[in-house]
Chain A
Amino acid sequence: MKKISISANRRSFLRGAITAAPAAALALAAVPAMRGQAQGAAPYKPSFFSQEEFTLLSAMADTLIPADETGPGAIEAGVPEFIDAQMNTPYGRGQLWYMQGPFDRDAPAVFGYQLPYPPADLYRKSLAGFSAAIRQQYGKDFPALAQAQRIEAITDLEKGSLKMGEIPAAAFFTQLLQNVREGYFCDPADGGNKGMLSWKMIGFPGARADYFDWVEQYGKKYPLPPVSRG
């Protein structure tokens, strides 16, 4: 079995999350790789999420895009911070969505999102519902679960089979996966993709935006590293 390496950045982040976490989230400390770390950089203080919500969100993002030999994980890329910041934008407040009622929650899935909640409210309700459902099913908080159990729980969320209160699991999963991917692959100027690590992994040159001399260089590797529009 291949050893999954955890970079210094990610260690430092997770350490921060634990240090700042309230008692309920301290179960994270039980994950072996994170025990007994020395003090690092100042932890990120979420502006929208509570520390407990943020710890849970971070663990979910970490499960969706883990750090491994392929490249950076969601934590190193700053995905949880990105999502936290997005909640305080017009997008997070639902000002880019048509939000007039009545809302037909039973509409077939192909009609898309039909809940009366903007993203910020959707996250708040979903994280609470998910957290309670996991505690009931596993007797532990999600961040304290072993990797295999986390994957199992997120798979249930994706399939929509997890019963998590008012919010349908699949609706939350769709929202979460979309925002995780955004935070992972966006321009660093938008608050995610720290160090352009995900762009380096896939070979996207970012905001270079001029390939006039490269169009007809068939099959060649583009030689320049990515740049941010920053």
Chain B
Amino acid sequence: MAQKKMKPVDVAIVGFGWTGAIMAKEMTEAGLSVVALERGVYRDTYPDGAYPKTIDELDYQQRFKLFQNIAKSSFTFRRKMADTAIPYRQIAMFKPGEGVGGAGLHWSGCHWRILPEELRMRSHYEERYGKKFIPQDMTLQDWGVSYEELEPFFDFGEKMMGTSGTAYRVGGKVINDRGNPFEADRSDAFPLPAQKEQYQSALFRKAAEEAGFHPFALPSANASAPYVNQYGCQMGPCTFCGFCSGYACYNYSKASPNVNILPALRLTRLFELRTECNVLRIELDDSKKKATGVTYIDGRGDTVFQPAGIVIASTFAYNNARLFLLSGIGKPYDPVSGSGVVGRNVAFQMMATVNAFFEPGKNINGFIGAGGNGVAIDDFNGDHFDHGPLGFVGGSPIWSNPAGSKPISGIAVPPGTPKWGRQWKSAVRDSYLNTMSFDAHGANMVYRDVYVDLDPTYKDAFGQPLLRFTFDWKDNDIRMSRYVTEQATKIARNLNPKAINVTVKQIGDAPDLRSYQTTHWAGGVAMGMDPGTSVLNRYLQSWDVHNVFAVGSGVFAQGIGYNPTGAAVALAYWSARAIRENYLKDPRPLVDA
């Protein structure tokens, strides 16, 4: 294997998903030369998302065409620190991505902001419920950035993605009472009106209103009309094809780095995208205070050093923690002493589902769907309801999100139905067109003994240790999920279905790697105000190595109720602004440790 050294660049970006693409755009706008290193293959709407080839459930959802090839690199899991971790051998519980566009190519397009109180979670709960309310082993902390500071970047991100939605309040004034009354103040409305409502969403809206809740259209990065964003990138209206999550959008309707950013980046010579380049580590100088570049293995198996003035880690969620651990950046977290930071505060989400079954002839037609489309209520998310008497921290939105149900994976059947045979067959025939489902997709808090580190046994195809998750469900989060799911079930009952099926965790349930939950991991390289509890400062700059920045949901200080992409995107723009306006003039730690 050859050793190569490339020509130095101003910025090396590791991973080319949403946040990598945003950083590449922002850095080239600042006049910097940028190389983005993506471990996966080149992908784009054409040919990877071309109709009709892309409309194939087996290839894309069962054989994971656009997802990470976990034969090469996977993860290990254990519930407790004393256990031996077991490899995640088949993709199921979460669906990691790779390739140009990353998870942004095959996501659904649910484009949320974040709740202001989630950015200062510990302070908020202590102020409202007292210091004793937060359980002792729950390592909640404030993120070090406020909603007001991030608001312009949420707005910019929505305009970049052509997000469809109904704004409730703009500039302090209520402009549309069909929006989300719990939503924080906005500087502008969504760039596109909300998408059309599928039947089950309309039923959900009516039943939720009858229950006294406040339904509104999910903010969706699926365009409801033709759109051109601020980069000149074009989108066409979504046709509700039903093949969204797990697929590249053949229609240029679902926002992706490939559709919404890459066409603009191609116009500058300052940018180079290299695919099939697996970054092994960020290299540091002798002082360990400065990065010199990155070392990667290219598609031919050669080891390459790419010198760079700034390194931006923009891998998916947990992978930034792995990259920092492999590179010796920041002190690894030690759950016994509670010291160290890299790998700390890892969170997932709590998923619960309610299915309502109707008689044949109802024709809910769940094959009609769009990834980000639907109707939600926020009455039980964040701290929009009084947690005092309930005794748990956190919350969850509830939504009907008809993203397109497909037959191999998509046919729910009434409780008690066998999994095969004549009875199963008649149940799938009767149920397929006549079922609706609601999800409660809530927050997962952070805990002292939930973290990631490097596995001592299992390796990837490049000989590097797999990332090991020490992860378990906690009573607090299960109580939250059960409470919110009860509210979802009330909404379902209002519709008088012939049967209801509720999938919700029981106290003591183990994480189940066999069944899909969500792919929304957070944390591992948490941002914050204190280097003793965070890896990055409030500008997403490493406390230890000032020319290394990290972006993506790995920077979250804990899990959030909404899907994470909107917050990850806004934080990337926030960090890019700090680099452009502050760091470039005077490269140094932007916050004193």
| Chain A interfacial positions (CB closer than 8 Å to B) | 63-66, 68, 70-71, 91, 94-100, 102, 104, 107-114, 151, 154, 158, 177, 180-182, 185-187, 189-190, 198-199, 201-207, 209-212, 214-216, 218-222, 229-230
Contact = CB atoms under 8 A, between A and B. Distances in A.
Interface stretch (B256-264, B421-429, B521-529, B540-548): B421-429
B513 A222 contact: no
B63 A91 contact: yes
B368 A182 contact: no
Interface string B473-485: 0000000000000
A109 B197 CA distance: 40
A92 to B, nearest CB: 11
B2 to A, nearest CB: 26
A113 B89 contact: yes
Nearest to B360: A203
B473 to A, nearest CB: 11
A203 B240 contact: no
B432 A202 contact: yes
Contacts of A98: 70-71, 73-74, 87-90
12 contacts: A65-B424, A98-B87, A182-B58, A185-B408, A202-B411, A204-B367, A209-B55, A209-B241, A211-B240, A212-B237, A229-B53, A230-B52
B301 interface: no
A203 B433 contact: yes
Interface in B51-90: 51-53, 55-59, 62-64, 69-71, 73-74, 77, 84, 86-90
B124 interface: no
A125 to B, nearest CB: 17
B156 interface: no
A204 B51 CA distance: 18
B89 A218 contact: no
B407 A110 contact: no
Given A97-B71, A202-B433, A209-B243, A112 B422 contact: no
A182 B62 CA distance: 8
- Give the dominant DSSP class at B's interface: loop
A208 to B, nearest CB: 8
A100 B367 CA distance: 38
A60 B89 CA distance: 26
Contact of B421 (A64, A189, A211, A216): A64
Interface string B485-512: 0000000000000000000000000111
Nearest to A189: B56
Contacts of A202: 407, 411, 428-429, 432-433
B457 interface: yes
B290 interface: no
A222 B242 CA distance: 14
B71 A221 contact: no
Given A68-B425, A205-B367, A110 B71 contact: no
B513 A111 contact: yes
A199 B410 CA distance: 13
Interface in B150-207: 196-199, 202
B86 A104 contact: yes
Contacts of A110: 510-514
B239 A212 contact: yes
Given A187-B56, A190-B56, A204-B407, A112 B429 contact: no
B514 A199 contact: no
A163 to B, nearest CB: 21
Nearest to B425: A70
Contacts of A63: 420-421
B108 to A, nearest CB: 16
A206 B57 CA distance: 10
Contacts of B55: 187, 206-207, 209, 229
B459 interface: yes
Interface in B85-130: 86-92
Interface residues of B, number: 66
A220 to B, nearest CB: 6
B199 A219 contact: yes
A194 B162 CA distance: 40
B583 interface: no
Contact of A112 (B57, B92, B421, B425): B92
B426 A70 contact: yes
B510 A216 contact: no
Contacts of B242: 209, 211
A94 B72 CA distance: 12
Given A198-B407, A205-B367, A211-B239, A99 B425 contact: no
B197 A96 contact: no
B131 interface: no
B239 A218 contact: no
B422 A66 contact: yes
A216 B196 contact: yes
B254 to A, nearest CB: 13
Nearest to A227: B52
Contacts of A203: 432-433
Given A99-B89, A219-B363, A214 B432 contact: no
Interface centre among A68, A102, A202 (most CB of B within 10 A): A202
A137 B87 CA distance: 36
Given A98-B71, A186-B57, A202-B428, A112 B199 contact: no
B89 A215 contact: no
Nearest to B434: A203
B419 interface: yes
Give the residue among A65, A94, A98, A108 with the most B Cβ atoms within 10 A. A98
B356 to A, nearest CB: 15
Interface in B389-430: 406-408, 411, 419-422, 424-426, 428-429
Given A100-B87, A107-B86, A114-B89, A199 B239 contact: no
The residue among A71, A96, A189 with the most chain B CB atoms within 10 A of its own CB is A96
Contacts of B52: 207, 209, 229-230
Given A209-B55, A216-B197, A229-B53, A70 B88 contact: no
A218 B512 contact: no
Nearest to A229: B52
A185 B409 CA distance: 9
Contacts of A114: 86-87, 89
Contact of A68 (B73, B408, B411, B422): B422
A104 B513 contact: no
Contacts of B362: 219
Nearest to B195: A215
A65 B69 contact: no
A142 B55 CA distance: 37
Given A98-B73, A182-B58, 5 more contacts: A96-B69, A110-B511, A185-B407, A216-B196, A229-B55
Given A64-B420, A209-B243, A108 B510 contact: yes
A29 B69 CA distance: 45
B365 interface: yes
Contacts of A70: 422, 425-426, 429
A220 B363 contact: yes
Contacts of B213: none
